[in-house]
Amino acid sequence: MSDLLSGTLPQPAERYNAIRSLLRAGKNDEAIVQLCAITVSYPQNLVAKELLFDAFFQKRDWEPALALAEELNRHQPDNARLEKARIATLTNLKRYDETIVQASRYIERHGDDLTILDTLKVATFYTGKANEAIRYGQRALELRDAEACNNPPPFSLKEPDGPPSGANVISFSLWGTAPFYSYGAMINLVLSRTIYPGWTCRFYVDAAVPPACVAFLRENGGDVRNIEDEYPSVGLFQRFLVMNDRTVGRFLVRDCDARLSAGEADLVRQWIESGYPFHAVRDHVMHNELMIGCTWAGRTDCGIDIVELMRRYFKFGPTAKYGHDQRMLGLMLWPLIRNRCLVHDRHYRLPGVHTVPLSEHKGHFGAGHQNLAAVLTEVDRLGIPRLPPA
């Protein structure tokens, strides 16, 4: 949102560019300190205040983000982009009734908009209107599909010739010190032995992961890759790099805090039997991205360079933070594989896409497990050693 250029610029333009670079790198606290200093000296500087909104929004600090969005909106009441930012922030604050009123009013004035449809999907779902939520989610999925297919990257999928050669790999990103991610990696490694026999779990880790966790993964058959020096600050995207490894045949991309399961493995079996080179699962009303970052799979022999797709995506300046992995997949990879992908979907459909309906079942694939007490119960049940206190 930070391309607003209203008001005066009391600071050199280079300083704003440096702050934007901090935001792209996810260094929100550092950006906030610098921006607060500017806004104290220049309270009418809307450029700095919009960047400050971006920083708080990325940090998921919703109260100050809303205060800034409302102030910016008062200064420019006809600015639709600022209005969208305010409505999205209301949704994140779980002020769903206000969201529904204001988002509906926005669509009446401006027509369908992806951000606003997603806020309506969330707000109606969490106020008990599941059918309305699915309707909004379907329309947003259609807009995403049209956007991606109208602007595909200049590449094409090479049709594989026969079964893939190489290892079967389940790819995870693991970074930071949060225990439910570290324990989740350890749990999934143990579960994979019975759920995915013959598959190897690969973990792309950074230096902050507890050493005891890394040691457990290595000692129990995990393939641990530390590539922070080569691909710094790409977090969730690191697990996608498996797609460029020609020693791999098929790969699954999963979340550490989710759980591998027999039900999910059955979907993978159906995908392999289908002969399609790619697989995507959408298993919840909220799953109306074209590809969910933790429930897709593919082959490495289709001539697609995932690193080049990532580079093209990052050229436009987004961060490697929450949600952008799915945005990149939808914009860059989906239009290349749309017609050669088996999709399992519980709620949504797209024309021309080979979709297998998912039946209702308890929970959903890709759901995060972040209740630490429950996670520790799993750890003890599986005989996994507890990590030393940080």
Backbone angles phi, psi at 282, to 5 degrees: -125, 115
The dihedral formed by the CA atoms of 292, 293, 297 and 299, expressed in degrees to the nearest 10: 130
What are the distances in angstroms from CA 242 to CA 109, 185, 357, 379?
Answer: 45, 17, 28, 27
Cα–Cα dist 67/147, whole Å: 32
381/383 Cα distance (integer angstroms): 6
CA 240 to centroid of chain Cα atoms: 12
CATH fold label, 167-380? Spore Coat Polysaccharide Biosynthesis Protein SpsA; Chain A (3.90.550)
Show the tokens assigned to 25.
């790198």
Report which of 107, 153, 167 is spatially closest to residue 132, judged by C-alpha positions. Answer: 107
| pLDDT tens track, the chain, 390 positions | 543 333 444 566 778 888 988 887 778 899 999 999 999 999 999 999 999 999 999 889 999 999 999 999 999 999 999 999 999 999 999 999 999 999 999 999 999 999 999 999 999 999 999 999 999 999 999 999 999 999 999 999 999 999 999 999 999 999 888 999 999 999 999 999 999 999 999 999 988 899 999 999 999 999 999 876 556 556 678 899 999 999 999 999 999 999 999 999 999 999 999 999 999 999 999 999 999 989 999 999 999 999 999 989 888 755 545 568 899 999 999 999 999 999 999 999 999 999 999 987 666 665 667 789 999 999 999 999 999 987
**N-terminal to C-terminal alpha carbon distance within the chain:** 37
Q: What is the dihedral of CA 159, 161, 163, 168, to 10 degrees?
A: -50
Q: What is the pLDDT of residue 234?
A: 61
- Distance (Å, whole) CA 36 – CA 39: 5
Query: How crowded is the C-beta side of 96, counted as CA atoms within 13 Å?
Result: 13
Strand pairing class (223-226; 200-205): parallel
Fold topology of 13-150:
1.25.40
Give 251's strand partners. 169, 298
Task: From 175, 129, 144, select the one nearest 280 (Cα to Cα).
Answer: 144
| Residue extents of the structural domains in the chain | 13-150, 167-380
Q: Can you give the pLDDT at residue 8? A: 47
Q: Kindly state the helix (H) or strand (E) to which residue 143 belongs, with its residue range.
A: helix 130-150
